[in-house]
Amino acid sequence: MNKKIELSLSTLCENVSMGVIVTNDDGVIVMVNRFLLKQFGYTEDELINTTIENLIPNKFLALDPREAKTNKQNFIDDYAGLEIEVTAIKKDGTQFPVEISFDYSNSNEGNYIIVLVNDISKRKKAELDLIELNAELEKKIEERTQSMSQTVKTLAKLIAETEVKDAEIKRVNSFLKNILNFTEAILFVTDSEGIIKMFNTSAETHLGYNANEVIDKTTPIIFFDKEELEERQKELTKEFKKEIGTGFSTLFAKTDMGLPNEYEFSFVRKDGSKFPVLLTLNRIGGCGSHSSKEGYIGFCKDISKRKEAEIEMKKVLEKEKELSDLRFKFLSLASHEFRTPLSVILSSAFIISQYKESKDHDKREKHVKRIVSSTNLLKDILNDFLSISKIEEGKIQVRNTSFNLKTHIKEIINELNGLLKKDQIIIYRHEGDVNLFLDAGMLKHIVINLLSNAIKFSQEGSAITISTKKHDREFTLVVKDRGVGISDEDKEHLFDRFFRGSNASQIQGTGLGLHIVSKYVEQMDGKLECKSKLGIGTRIEVSFHEIDHH
């Protein structure tokens, strides 16, 4: 490789925060940057004049860069700028995941393949860590639920197995009453007909009834939600394929079958309010004046806090998943959107270094424009990410000031002229008062995003119109284009974060522009409306009511 070319390319490569490999048409490495040497643990002498096979074996690589030699145009069309996840191997034999992309460059000095290598180990680890965290949280919830359930079953079994004579039952009940009144669990005992014979202090506290109001006077049915009880009766009838009785019979149906009877239910307090409980129902020995008859015991645990914790944990997991998805989308999008302009800048700078003659001025100018365009694209992407970050963190505050609307819009249009495609024009019209009291900064973000979209999704030679109108305190801004348009299906998600239309896959963008517009409009208490037809164009209207600032 020409020494001057090598020096120019080396300078560029060393300022890129990713691994860079330059090979000739035969796939022989002619240059690597320090970042790549650090990634793989090699020295420069160990890699120069070797092949990329040493770093990324062909068994892991679906695309062979050496295809460029046999079919250059297909390589440029199919592979240039394409990101591929593969496994790379360090000098010590360690395998690690990377994302690579290719670019093809030709010049008077020879043809070169530029390979960008990005280590994605941290991203992969973050994905695995989140999966493990979710699994661990679910496991802890399951363990705690099983532990409490086992405790309840053990206590219920001990009570159910205590079958003694009537005198002994009275003595035990008296003893239990003194002890169980100190527990937080709701306890009630009934005779075989379901009439309540014992009602502990916790039951009084939770349900709002005095023991004298229920003992020997009613059944536990009054504590249960009627609709849930009816639904329980239907479930049991279906489960056992026979008609299960209603009311009290539904409660103790499984108990009478000798089956475990534990489930979650809603208890109804005396004042009509409800709370969730974990209910265990068992049979006990002689209860009441007839010692030969059996009775029932209900052991109930107020699980309101557990339910709240489950709901809160679910929210946390959903939020964590949302943040994980956001981080993943951000990393994927940033990797993709940054790589293309960086590749353009790198390859254009390399090509410029080949043009030394004055006759090459036009060619140099062409690649300088490519670099400027790619740099502006990077700036726009970063601005989008910064805006969405501030919005998500709630750092956006409306700061209304008085300003000249026409002057403000014209300045924004002048800033965007460099983005216009060949023969595209922006036409601006205003009607009414030019003085506006609004957040000029937010309005600028809105206009830039709307016009940038109109430019990107419109053809060369097309006209884009922006019109503003101010009457009294009502302000309206409309941006119209004759671009590709938006389908009815895509309109439903048009303002979602990271959403790209089905017909926008070949157009550069982050999918954040209209989401940012919608958030700014919402922050400024405005209204946003979009009308569009495929192949005809799009019209987006933003309107605000100017507040009284006098």
| In a shared domain, residues 430 and 389 | no
The CATH number of the domain holding residue 256 is 3.30.450.20
At position 224, the amino acid (one-letter code) is F
At 71, which helix (H) or strand (E)? none
Q: Can you say how many angstroms the Cα of residue 382 is from the centroid of all Cα atoms in its chain?
A: 20
pLDDT of 212 over the 70 cut = yes
**Cα–Cα dist 494/425, whole Å:** 25
97 conformational bin, left if phi > 0, alpha if psi -120 to 50, beta if neither: beta
| In a shared domain, residues 314 and 351 | yes
* Burial class (CB within 10 angstroms; exposed 0-12, middle 13-18, buried 19+) of 517: buried
| In a shared domain, residues 144 and 93 | no
Domain count across the chain: 4
| In a shared domain, residues 92 and 55 | yes
**Residue 543 has what pLDDT?**
96
Mean pLDDT, the chain, rounded, equals: 80
Nearest Cα residue to 150 out of 257, 262, 254: 262
Which of 121-130, 329-338, 398-407 shows the lowest per-residue confidence on average (mean pLDDT)? Answer: 329-338
Contacts with 32 (C-beta within 8 Å, 6 or more apart), sequence order: 13, 19, 20, 21, 22, 42, 44, 47, 48
Last residue of a domain, one of 377, 395, 413: 395
**Cα–Cα dist 405/476, whole Å:** 11
pLDDT digit string, tens, across residues 30-46? 889 888 899 999 999 99
| In a shared domain, residues 83 and 203 | no
Residue 132 lies in a domain: no
**Residue 162 has what pLDDT?**
54
Q: How far is CA 292 from CA 185, 249, 289, 337, in A?
A: 28, 20, 9, 81
Residue 114 lies in a domain: yes
**Cα–Cα dist 237/245, whole Å:** 9
DSSP letter, residue 62: S
**Domain span holding position 230:** 138-302
Please indicate whether residue 496 or residue 221 has the higher confidence score (pLDDT). Answer: 221
pLDDT digit string, tens, across residues 199-210? 988 899 899 999
Concatenated DSSP letters of 168-224: HHHHHHHHHHHHHTTSSSEEEEE-TT--EEEE-HHHHHHH---HHHHTTT--GGGGB
Contact 412, 471 (CB under 8 A): no
pLDDT of 522 over the 60 cut = yes
pLDDT of 213 over the 70 cut = yes
Mean pLDDT of 3-28: 69
| In a shared domain, residues 33 and 103 | yes
- Residue 474 has phi, psi (to 5 degrees) of -100, 125
| In a shared domain, residues 341 and 251 | no
pLDDT digit string, tens, across residues 378-397? 776 677 667 766 776 677 78
| In a shared domain, residues 260 and 156 | yes
The CATH number of the domain holding residue 319 is 1.10.287.130
pLDDT digit string, tens, across residues 230-250? 999 999 999 989 998 888 888
pLDDT of 173 over the 80 cut = no
- Point out which residues pair with 528 in neighbouring strands: 542
Q: How far is CA 464 from CA 240, 379, 461, 490, in A?
A: 70, 23, 10, 22
pLDDT digit string, tens, across residues 485-495? 888 888 887 77
Residue 490 lies in a domain: yes
- Point out which residues pair with 437 in neighbouring strands: 402
Q: H-type helices in 23-120, by residue range?
A: 34-40, 44-47, 67-70, 72-78
Residue 537 lies in a domain: yes
DSSP letter, residue 335: H
pLDDT of 67 over the 70 cut = no
Rounded to two decimals, what is the model's pTM? 0.43
**Residue 13 has what pLDDT?**
62
Contact 504, 514 (CB under 8 A): no
Strand segments, DSSP code E, in 379-454 are 401-404, 425-432, 435-438
Express as a percent the part of the chain with pLDDT over 70.
74
The total of other beta-carbon atoms located within 10 Å of residue 535's CB is 9
| In a shared domain, residues 254 and 294 | yes
